[in-house]
Structure 1
Amino acid sequence: MLDVSVIMPIYNVEKYLEKAIKSVLNQTNKNFELILVNDGSTDDALKICRYYEKKDNRVFVINQENKGAGYARNVGLSKATGSYIYFIDPDDYVEPNLIEENIKIAKETCTDVLMFGFIEVTTSIDESSTSRVNLPKLTSSKEARQFRTQFNRYYSFAPYALWNKLYRREFLIKNNVQFSNQKIGEDALFNLDVYRHLEKVEINPHAYYHYVYRANSAVNHYTKDRFKQEYKVAKSFEKLMKEWDEVLRYKTLINKEYWNTMYLEIKNLSSKECMLKKEEKIKLMVRIMENEKIERAVIDLSNQAEKNRFVKTLLFLVKKKKYSLALNLMRLRMDIGFKSQKLLNIIKRLGYKKGDYAQ
């Protein structure tokens, strides 16, 4: 049996696709298959996929109409034959020893999920980049209760990412874990379903995946119903905590999930692609804050507990109902980057006293 089935959903990424494919084919462990699911690309992505399918018998191409990444991954899952499943995005790339070193641990422990570190690469429009290594400071879990009682630690390390995890295929089949057809947040819903049944987790404290964040990334595009989709993720998270009977223990995490829906909607509304007028955006934010769960989350969350200065400031502005300022700040971040000294200076000039952040 093959060690791993690598599944890559593809949509209009011809510029980055070959690098992603080559990084998989150059693995030191050769006992894998690479399933490329072309999800209705209108560029030359399919042509690139076909080239590598002819060149390497480990590559299999599935071509379909555009239905979304979740649907594409489900098609890949239905064709997979490996002991473990690994998902890679077509605009990222991996270290050559990813499969070899992680499958060794996975096989030795027969774990359901194996988590490992990643390198976050941020590129700007001029193609310059910076990188940051993220390593999991976690412990393995042997049974469900152990995993659930230390879930806050797992939650702190890219809990919804697919690309820093190996999934045992039989575990997914047994528990009927698949992707929803939701266009945004389908990876989060998938992982929440994984966590619902999860018992055995192993950790590899090394980094193998290069997650590339680009200035023109899809996450900066405007999506009309994004709030509705992100809210579904928050509700699913709260539902899982109720099923675990862990609402009190993880109340702060539940609040963070609901706050995240507002945070991402502010980002969505701040996109240059959003054609709504400023007044319309503010009215929409006011309407969102009328949602009891989101209002309670914003009220309950402590600014002092938030480490990220930008998020802390944004939360403060929303608490004070300064929606126009919140939109301006988010737009500024998206225009010049959150690491910009100019943005930090603006945050400082807001002049908040330390006590303003306390609850």
Structure 2
Amino acid sequence: MAFEENYVLSVVVPVGQLNGQISALQSWISIVNNVQVIMVLDHIDDKTREAINLAFAITNHPGIQIFEVDFRNPGDSRNFGLSKATGSWILFADADDVPQISSIEEAIHSTKDTADIIVGNFETLAVKTGKKTKHEAENLQDLIKRLPKNLGLWRFVFRNQYLRESGVQFPPLCMAEDQVFYLELNPRETQFEFANLVFYSYHVGNYYQLTNDPEKIQDLRIAINLSLHKISQRQTFRNLDFLAAQIFALLGNSSQRHLIGNLLFLLGISPKIISLFGLGKLILISTYPVRRLR
């Protein structure tokens, strides 16, 4: 379906219960200009709603758009934001992190017309200590080695037309919805570009992060089942890279690692066999889809 592109970049940001802590949002939204920022307030608490309204509702920036919904999961919130996006390119950000908009815009302006996705580098910020750690690939080969450690969909910038034509949607989950989304994209058929720029500052240690909510852990099991279903729909043994992609995605934090054994068991693969041949080699297979990065 045709749509009018009014911005170069749209940033979709689901906002949940932050207890009024919106300093990360303010730090970058207050300095952007020709960028569409779509804040999707999902089952938000009163303190956060008040803080958002005070900070942004009376702004003269036409690109800042605020919607309130009650999905209670970032997957549906991102889908909603995507439906409102009119930028040529789309970034999916989290409300407690800081995207580096100037670097992303620089990459967009220098990208090829054939690119569907631009992938950049990122840094982590320990909120409690203020320590920054850069995760920078130097070149394409280095990026391929690093991707298995942290997929980080928030450092992927998607061409809007590509997403609309693919029809890919996030599942209605609170955790691992981005990994399932990645599998839906079928990276083998996608044109990537790598930008040696820091696209994103990922903040760790916030007590209100969904990854710290034990009640949301069950969504990981649902994500695995969805991934297995998608894998089963593909031709056999071309699937190994998608299996490995899901494995390395689930390696994201310690609360997820125990699910890997269940995933391998369900696929009839012995963890002992995997370790015998080297899990590292299996994980590297998962980078095959991005070997087409330009």
Bucket of the pairwise TM-score, normalised by the shorter protein = 0.7 to 0.9
Provide the secondary structure at the position in 1 that maps to 2:140: coil
Q: Does structure 2 conserve the Cα–Cα contact (< 8 Å) formed by 1:227 and 1:261?
A: no
Return the alpha-carbon distance in structure 1 between the equivalents of residues 24 and 45 of structure 2: 19
Q: Deviations over 1:211-240 (max 9, x none)?
A: 011162431321362452242255257447
Q: Which structure would you say has the larger RCO, counting Cα contacts within 8 Å and 6 or more residues apart?
A: 2
Indicate which of 22, 34, 44 corresponds to 1:31: 34
Return the alpha-carbon distance in structure 2 between the equivalents of residues 293 and 135 of structure 1: 35
TM-superposed deviation, 1:53: 3.1
Return the alpha-carbon distance in structure 2 between the equivalents of residues 213 and 12 of structure 1: 17
Greater gyration radius: 1
Q: Deviations over 1:198-257 (max 9, x none)?
A: 4210101121311011162431321362452242255257447x4485246x49826835
**Sequence identity (%):** 17
Q: Deviations over 1:72-129 (max 9, x none)?
A: 11111111111011111100113351332122133x4441000000001223xxx223
Provide the secondary structure at the position in 2 that maps to 1:85: strand
Which residue of 1 is the match for residue 10 of structure 2? Answer: 5
Return the alpha-carbon distance in structure 2 between the equivalents of residues 192 and 22 of structure 1: 32
Asked whether 1:177 is paired with 2:168, we answer yes
TM-superposed deviation, 1:168: 0.5
Return the alpha-carbon distance in structure 1 between the equivalents of residues 242 and 184 of structure 2: 19
Which residue of 1 is the match for residue 148 of structure 2? Answer: 156
List, as ranges, runs of 4+ consecutive aligned residues in structure 1 with deviation greater than 4 Å: 151-155, 257-263, 265-268, 288-291, 303-307
Which residue of 2 is the match for residue 218 of structure 1? Answer: 210
Return the alpha-carbon distance in structure 2 between the equivalents of residues 233 and 306 of structure 1: 22
Q: Does structure 2 conserve the Cα–Cα contact (< 8 Å) formed by 1:37 and 1:62?
A: yes
Asked whether 1:54 is paired with 2:45, we answer no
TM-superposed deviation, 1:45: 1.9
Provide the secondary structure at the position in 2 that maps to 1:207: strand
Return the alpha-carbon distance in structure 2 between the equivalents of residues 15 and 50 of structure 1: 11
Which residue of 2 is the match for residue 312 of structure 1? Answer: none
Q: Does structure 1 conserve the Cα–Cα contact (< 8 Å) formed by 2:121 and 2:197?
A: yes
Which residue of 2 is the match for residue 122 of structure 1? Answer: 126
Q: Does structure 1 conserve the Cα–Cα contact (< 8 Å) formed by 2:10 and 2:35?
A: yes
Which residue of 1 is the match for residue 22 of structure 2? Answer: 17
Which residue of 2 is the match for residue 44 of structure 1? Answer: 47
Return the alpha-carbon distance in structure 1 between the equivalents of residues 175 and 160 of structure 2: 24
Q: Which runs of 5+ in 2 are unaligned?
A: 1-5, 281-294
Which residue of 1 is the match for residue 90 of structure 2? Answer: 85
* Matched residues, number: 271
Return the alpha-carbon distance in structure 2 between the equivalents of residues 62 and 251 of structure 1: 35
Return the alpha-carbon distance in structure 2 between the equivalents of residues 16 and 69 of structure 1: 18
Q: Does structure 2 conserve the Cα–Cα contact (< 8 Å) formed by 1:2 and 1:33?
A: yes
TM-superposed deviation, 1:259: 7.7
Amino acid at match of 1:212: H
Q: Does structure 1 conserve the Cα–Cα contact (< 8 Å) formed by 2:20 and 2:49?
A: no
Asked whether 1:246 is paired with 2:250, we answer no
